[in-house]
Structure 1
Amino acid sequence: MGNSFGCSASGERLVSAARDGDFVEAKMLLDCNPCLAKYSTFGGLNSPLHFAAAKGHIEIVALLLENGADVNTRNYCGQTALMQACRYGHWEVVQTLLLFRCNVTRADYLSGRTALHFAAVNGHLRCIRLVVADFVPSVPFEALNTQANGDRSSGVNDKTNALSKFVNKAADGGITALHMAALNGYFDCVQLLLDLHANVSAVTFHYGTSMDLIGAGSTPLHYAACGGNLKCCQILLARGASRLALNCNGWLPLDVARMWGRHWLESLLTPNSDSPIPVFPPSNYLSLPLMSVLNIARDCGLQTSTTASDDTDICAVCIERACSVAAEGCSHELCARCALYLCSTSNIPSESSVPPGSIPCPLCRHGIISFVKLPGSSSKEIKLPLSLSLCTPCMLHPREPNASEAFGSPDMRKNVVSSVTSDMFCPVTCSPFPSVTMPLCTCNEGPCPNFDSGERDPQEESPHRSQSTSSEQEKMDGMRLEKTTCSGMFWGRRSCSREHQCNAEINA
């Protein structure tokens, strides 16, 4: 944990530099002792990489990884730097971690949340598209939604199955990323997740669930009805959600909407409703060429300076770096950095003449679905950093044996601490989503707010009411609060304090 050989004080200095974004201080400390990149705090076991990722300091993140920081290191709650970056929406940090081949499928110890859950619960679209980049092949969007026969489509089907399995991975209580995006009213995230094969009919667990107030066995439509966003409900219904789905409490989505005061949804969620449902095109945030350019960037690196003297070999976008990739179709050449930035940020609606999910070329507007590496590009693969053995390593971090250990006795080799995978830890029912808020409706006091834009109710989960309210209103609020303040609904107090301890260090 970095608390041996007198490196604790220097480690705390590096933690402060990573939190504050002091690149000069961090570089000086790492130049003196590169082992500090493996340091972790005593309380929450947060590494400097966790602090830098949570604060969005991309230069320090890259510096730590280049000096041997483990890209998959975990804190006390089992959360990685990728999860912290997705929690706060720092997509450039997510992009850097992906270049160093971080494990996007890892889940935390508390509730089995992946980085996709952290991104979806806070509506960070760019983080979602980056996290799933390794699962989306560079093929036309129609091929992702059809199961073709023959050897030609077998690889696409394997990728599609892996994508569906990852997107529909359930956290504590059976909650998927689609459930959380629908509950919080992020309709654009709901649309993107559905395009990425999220199961619109997925239900939470029928036993031991912590979502008792919405109901065990609930679909994303139940959660959207609780959240109150009209567009979320429309998208789910347009993609096949059922108004007649009953949860374990015997509630329809309409019943959930009435319980939570979402009166503006009743006409849409009524079982025999004739309300028109708009047709929603594929999400603008699909990015088919992202996987190809990400693999090229891992292989040849993000060049920081030009390597050719001929002006024709210089990237026409940044006019700084040499071209290393070419777009399939139009064959326009770009540098890997510009191509990666283009695929990570573009949200321009696709034209009817190009496949959905293609990225428009910045030079000719031709739809790009894949990039290829130029033959003359030098390979500069980003390798995973090796463990440094001067500081005492955490037992949860993988440790590679050095040369002396490799030729040691069999007994010594048995004592080498190996990596502990997340599969060995059961995600207990505690603190699934402490950042989720259940907005209370105040429609009895006035007109209902407009939820089409994804805005929240101005009064969210308020445990104490104003003393100036009438006694009748206090009685109604008391009955409602009696329903909504159950500590077992979204988090357990014990585990919430554990996660709060880790986050308090970062946000100090």
Structure 2
Amino acid sequence: EKGKEKEKDKDKQNEQQKKENQSQRGNEMRCPENSLRGGREKERGGRRRREYPLHSCAKDNDVEGMKKILCAGYDVNRRDTFGATALLIACHLGHKEAVDVLLSHSNIDVNLGELWGRTALHDASKKGHYDIVKKLVEKNADVSLADKKKKSALMKAAARGHTKIVRYLIQKGADVDASDSQYESTALLYACMKGKTEVVQTLVEEGGAEMRKTNRKNESIFHCVVLGGSVQTLVFLLQFLLNKG
């Protein structure tokens, strides 16, 4: 019961915040110098983040607000303090309607990354938003782009167990055996560490992933599986290798 009450309170707070954001954006639209140039600042985790109207609309999935702002000449690719575009925010949150509005803009750049190199495709893949991943790739999102730690969309999806996205990215030419710079891990090593058996199966059977690669600590797929504690993944790998001969 307490859990349900907390959820209700949280929903009320979110709805109230959304209304406040919409009211604020309404004021900004009546004052173009704020809307199209300055935006407003918010305190986020001890750091000040300048939030622009389009970003705020993307966060709230406020499609009508987005259309009005874009019609007023707003830069669809504008970045906030941390380098995030409105598209990245919408993709991160899984707001399909907002994503559709942004992708329909003739000047949209789907491959823009934020300060750490994360793109809209990275976040959509990590969060498991399959439909959005497809929309982005169809708009020429680069499946080979990696962030500043050399982590690709495929690695992010693999670590989270998003099999459908992993399969789609493989079909679209993602590099299955690429390694990141942080741990020198591949998508397969991440999936083994996290015990994502279906993803492991997809990577080796459909992607032809190299099974002999090791990470920075010289850990193999079997080390990673044992560390991750997935018996199911271990059984699959052993059976796969036995069948392969």
| Normalised TM-score (structure 1) | 0.41
What does residue range 306-321 of structure 1 map to in structure 2 within 5 Å? none
| Contact map agreement 2:99 2:132 (CA 8 A) in 1 | yes
> Which residue of structure 2 aligns with residue 87 of structure 1?
92
> Which residue of structure 2 aligns with residue 270 of structure 1?
238
> Which residue of structure 1 aligns with residue 138 of structure 2?
133
Determine the C-alpha separation between the residues in 2 that align with 1:130 and 1:198.
16
Q: 1:37, CA displacement in angstroms?
A: 2.3
Q: Does 1:221 align with 2:188?
A: yes
Determine the C-alpha separation between the residues in 2 that align with 1:230 and 1:17.
41
Higher-Rg structure is 1
Q: 1:190, CA displacement in angstroms?
A: 0.6
> Which residue of structure 1 aligns with residue 6 of structure 2?
none
- Structure 1 residues 240-272: Cα deviation after superposition (integer angstroms, max 9, x where no partner): 012222223221112101012122211222397
| Contact map agreement 1:182 1:223 (CA 8 A) in 2 | yes
Q: 1:124–1:272: structure 2 CA closer, same or farther, 3 Å change rule?
A: closer
Determine the C-alpha separation between the residues in 2 that align with 1:198 and 1:256.
22
| Contact map agreement 1:37 1:67 (CA 8 A) in 2 | no
What does residue range 225-304 of structure 1 map to in structure 2 within 5 Å? 225-238=192-205, 239-270=207-238, 273-274=241-242
SS of structure 1 residue aligned to 2:81: coil
- Structure 1 residues 255-296: Cα deviation after superposition (integer angstroms, max 9, x where no partner): 1010121222112223972369xxxxxxxxxxxxxxxxxxxx
Q: 1:17, CA displacement in angstroms?
A: 10
What does residue range 142-157 of structure 1 map to in structure 2 within 5 Å? none
Count of residue pairs brought into register by the alignment:
221
Determine the C-alpha separation between the residues in 2 that align with 1:231 and 1:21.
43
Q: Does 1:71 align with 2:76?
A: yes
Q: Counterpart of 1:204 in structure 2: which amino acid? A: D
Higher relative contact order at CA 8 Å, sep ≥6: structure 1 or structure 2? 1
> Which residue of structure 2 aligns with residue 36 of structure 1?
34
1 or 2, which has the higher helix percentage? 2
Q: 1:126–1:21: structure 2 CA closer, same or farther, 3 Å change rule?
A: farther
| Contact map agreement 1:45 1:74 (CA 8 A) in 2 | no
Determine the C-alpha separation between the residues in 1 that align with 2:19 and 2:242.
55
Q: 1:252–1:174: structure 2 CA closer, same or farther, 3 Å change rule?
A: same
Q: 1:21–1:52: structure 2 CA closer, same or farther, 3 Å change rule?
A: farther
| Contact map agreement 1:107 1:113 (CA 8 A) in 2 | yes
Q: 1:93–1:28: structure 2 CA closer, same or farther, 3 Å change rule?
A: same
Q: Counterpart of 1:127 in structure 2: which amino acid? A: I
SS of structure 1 residue aligned to 2:232: helix
Q: Does 1:194 align with 2:200?
A: no
SS of structure 2 residue aligned to 1:224: helix
Q: Which runs of 5+ in 1 are unaligned?
A: 1-15, 136-162, 210-215, 277-508
The CA RMSD measured in Å over matched residues stands at 2.5
> Which residue of structure 1 aligns with residue 145 of structure 2?
169
> Which residue of structure 2 aligns with residue 449 of structure 1?
none
**What is the aligned counterpart of 2:112 among 86, 89, 106?**
106
Q: 1:95, CA displacement in angstroms?
A: 1.3
| Contact map agreement 1:225 1:256 (CA 8 A) in 2 | yes
SS of structure 2 residue aligned to 1:44: strand
**What is the aligned counterpart of 1:180 among 142, 153, 156?**
156
Q: 1:275–1:59: structure 2 CA closer, same or farther, 3 Å change rule?
A: farther
Q: 1:27–1:66: structure 2 CA closer, same or farther, 3 Å change rule?
A: farther
| Contact map agreement 2:21 2:56 (CA 8 A) in 1 | no
| Contact map agreement 1:21 1:57 (CA 8 A) in 2 | no
> Which residue of structure 1 aligns with residue 101 of structure 2?
96
**What is the aligned counterpart of 2:60 among 55, 61, 65?**
55
Determine the C-alpha separation between the residues in 2 that align with 1:184 and 1:97.
26
Determine the C-alpha separation between the residues in 1 that align with 2:24 and 2:156.
39
Determine the C-alpha separation between the residues in 1 that align with 2:214 and 2:49.
41
Q: Counterpart of 2:189 in structure 1: which amino acid? A: H
| Contact map agreement 1:119 1:128 (CA 8 A) in 2 | yes
SS of structure 2 residue aligned to 1:269: helix
| Contact map agreement 2:55 2:86 (CA 8 A) in 1 | yes
Q: 1:263–1:62: structure 2 CA closer, same or farther, 3 Å change rule?
A: same
Q: Counterpart of 1:102 in structure 2: which amino acid? A: I
SS of structure 2 residue aligned to 1:45: strand
| Contact map agreement 1:18 1:48 (CA 8 A) in 2 | no
> Which residue of structure 1 aligns with residue 10 of structure 2?
none
